[in-house]
């Protein structure tokens, strides 16, 4: 009798792990996979891409016309160029961040969806975001260079810091006012306490409105990035000097300035994250509490002089060294910083352009670009559409599990009553239900058991680019040619890796569903007698949908 009870207990336990596996979430395992990259040539990029839900916009600059012409690009999420606008009159310092304006109307008139571009030759252009055509443009004075700082878009206006003035225009292009200020460089604009604020190259902070300007001397140095409007109404300033920099707090009501802390060389533009101020320079990433009087909460060593970004809950900064890469930090509720690590890529180099992120219909996108002007897009898989009959499918699963429970109970009862023939019948039915849900895992385990994969180093072809080392590679062996795709990253199955390689080559692939998974039947319109795949030299024994791959796997598809 005791043996029978133990058998019943063991059979019941089989059901538990299977149930738990069905409830698990895949959020922690979410992977951003490489989709495509675009090399813009010998130019460079110093400002982060701008991503809307429709398109991606990137601006480039150059050191000479021989290297390339400063341009603005519109690119689809498929990596296809929509349009391009060039400016051969550029003075080679096109660093002003792009600004997107949604269509609207008001006292100033009306305007379409636009991309605002400030050029180093002093030209401000409003481009139709869909076509790249000029909606309107405005010329500002150039003294060596023109517009290099960030502009400020408000409900019906755009305020632009130029080389030595601040211009405000309606979004239909009409000029509202222009006020002269000191000579600036990358001098962004901020609105606070009823005035517009910007700095110049001799340490003056300028307060501007349509009636006039007032300047306040902060110190002997340069005020470059735009003043940061603090939650308490004050301004945070970064004065660059020959020995580093100093962070100041400027009271916009009393027009007084207070030194907060010494800082490193070449500070980047600070941002507000969860009520704390995050700054960066050549030495540290720093968090400050500015609820009233600013003070340093924490700092971590890191070299970044560029744009700080919030990316899916993390603080990310480009490292401005020859090694490049991206520092990742988290911010605790008390303002303390924690270093999460350094993200590195094969084309890392000096960088000041921030990381752009976007979420569209639940799918996450990540855009990276550095001074090499190589734009890369990573994304998660698109979420599966919600099935309108999802609740019915859930009830189907519950009913199947209930049947399994009834079968195992009937098996147990018949064993206790020593009706072994009936118990055997119920047990066979139970095993059938169990096999239905676990077939994929069984096939996967069998594949791993019988296949002894050849190390990737033995399959490596010396003719392949060195950049492909350590990445995933797919070989398409047609009857008349062989095509190889490499440099692929973060794919988990043969099928997803193959789809990425086919997209890279511009191949269309045909896939059919079966009860055992998805199978590939044609590549680039060529089916032949079918296709077979191998992973690191070992033949595939299951559907490509279920066959897993490593980070450096080599997949071969052979046309039969």
Report, as an integer, the average pLDDT of 536-542. Answer: 78
On average, the pLDDT of the chain sits at 86
Question: Tell me, what's the pLDDT at 10?
Answer: 41
Question: Tell me, what's the pLDDT at 436?
Answer: 63
How are beta strands 554-559 and 472-477 bridged, if at all?
parallel
Lowest mean pLDDT among 91-105, 175-189, 536-550: 536-550
Lowest mean pLDDT among 264-273, 304-313, 397-406: 397-406
Lowest mean pLDDT among 233-242, 299-308, 407-416: 407-416
551 phi, psi to nearest 5 deg: -70, -20
pLDDT tens string 7-44: 444 444 334 333 332 222 234 668 889 999 999 999 99
- Bridge partners, 86 (sequence order): 71
- Order of strands across the sheet that contains 175-180: 152-153, 157-161, 165-170, 175-180
Residue 219 has pLDDT above 90, yes or no: yes
Question: Tell me, what's the pLDDT at 381?
Answer: 86
Closest-CA residue to 40 (of 96, 101, 94, 115): 94
> pLDDT-derived band of residue 452, with 50, 70 and 90 as boundaries?
low
Report, as an integer, the average pLDDT of 221-232. Answer: 96
**Angle at Cα 124 formed by Cα 120 and Cα 126, nearest 5°?**
135
Spatial separation of the C-alpha atoms in residues 197 and 191, rounded to whole Å = 6
Contact (CB, 8 A) for 60 and 40 = yes
Spatial separation of the C-alpha atoms in residues 207 and 227, rounded to whole Å = 11
State the CB neighbour count (10 A cutoff) for residue 78. 9
Report, as an integer, the average pLDDT of 340-362. Answer: 93
Residue 6 has pLDDT above 50, yes or no: no
């Amino acid at each position: 009798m005791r043996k029978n009870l133990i058998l019943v207990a063991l059979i019941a336990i089989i059901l538990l792990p299977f149930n738990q596996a069905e409830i698990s979430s895949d959020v922690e395992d979410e992977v951003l996979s490489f989709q495509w990259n675009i090399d813009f040539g010998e130019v460079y990029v110093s400002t982060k891409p701008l991503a809307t839900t429709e398109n991606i916009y990137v601006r480039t600059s150059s050191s000479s016309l021989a290297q390339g012409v400063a341009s603005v690009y519109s690119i689809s999420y498929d990596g296809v160029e929509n349009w391009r606008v060039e400016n051969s009159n550029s003075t080679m310092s096109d660093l002003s961040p792009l600004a997107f304006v949604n269509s609207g109307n008001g006292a100033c008139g009306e305007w379409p969806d636009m991309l605002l571009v400030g050029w180093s030759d002093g030209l401000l252009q409003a481009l139709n975001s869909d076509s790249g055509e000029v909606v309107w443009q405005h010329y500002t004075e150039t003294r060596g260079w023109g517009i290099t700082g960030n502009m400020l878009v408000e409900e019906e206006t755009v305020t632009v810091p130029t080389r030595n003035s601040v211009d405000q225009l309606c979004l239909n292009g009409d000029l509202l006012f222009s006020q002269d200020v000191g000579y600036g460089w990358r001098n962004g604009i901020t609105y606070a306490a009823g005035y517009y604020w910007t700095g110049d190259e001799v340490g003056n902070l300028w307060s501007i409105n349509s009636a006039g300007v007032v300047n306040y001397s902060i110190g002997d140095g340069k005020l470059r990035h735009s003043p940061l409007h603090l939650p308490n109404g004050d301004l945070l300033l970064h004065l660059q000097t020959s020995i580093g920099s100093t962070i100041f707090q400027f009271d916009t009501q009393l027009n007084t300035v207070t030194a907060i802390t010494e800082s490193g060389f070449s500070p980047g533009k600070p941002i507000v994250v969860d009520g704390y101020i995050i700054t960066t320079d050549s030495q540290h990433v720093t968090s400050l509490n500015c609820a009233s009087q600013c003070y340093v909460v924490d700092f971590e060593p890191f070299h970044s002089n560029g744009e700080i970004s919030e990316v899916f809950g993390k603080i990310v900064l480009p490292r401005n060294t020859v090694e490049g890469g991206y520092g990742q930090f988290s911010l605790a509720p008390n303002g303390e910083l924690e270093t999460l690590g350094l993200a590195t890529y094969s084309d890392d180099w000096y960088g000041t352009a921030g990381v752009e992120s976007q979420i569209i219909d639940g799918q996450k996108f990540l855009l990276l670009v550095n001074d090499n002007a190589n734009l890369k897009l990573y994304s998660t898989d698109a979420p599966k559409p919600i099935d309108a009959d999802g609740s019915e499918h859930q009830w189907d699963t519950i009913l199947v599990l209930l049947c399994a429970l009834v079968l195992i109970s009937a098996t147990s009862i018949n064993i206790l009553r020593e009706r072994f023939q009936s118990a055997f019948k119920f047990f066979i039915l139970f095993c059938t239900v169990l096999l239905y849900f676990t077939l994929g895992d069984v096939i996967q385990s069998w594949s791993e058991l019988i296949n002894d994969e050849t190390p990737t180093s033995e399959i490596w072809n010396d003719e392949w680019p060195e950049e492909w080392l350590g990445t995933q590679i797919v070989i398409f062996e047609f009857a008349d040619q062989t095509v190889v795709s490499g440099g692929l990253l973060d794919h988990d199955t043969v099928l997803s890796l193959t789809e990425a390689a086919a997209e890279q080559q511009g191949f269309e692939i045909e896939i059919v569903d079966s009860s055992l998974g998805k199978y590939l039947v044609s590549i680039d319109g060529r089916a032949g007698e079918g296709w077979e795949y191998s992973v690191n030299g070992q033949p595939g024994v299951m559907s490509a949908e279920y066959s897993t791959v490593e980070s450096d796997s080599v997949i071969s598809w052979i046309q039969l």
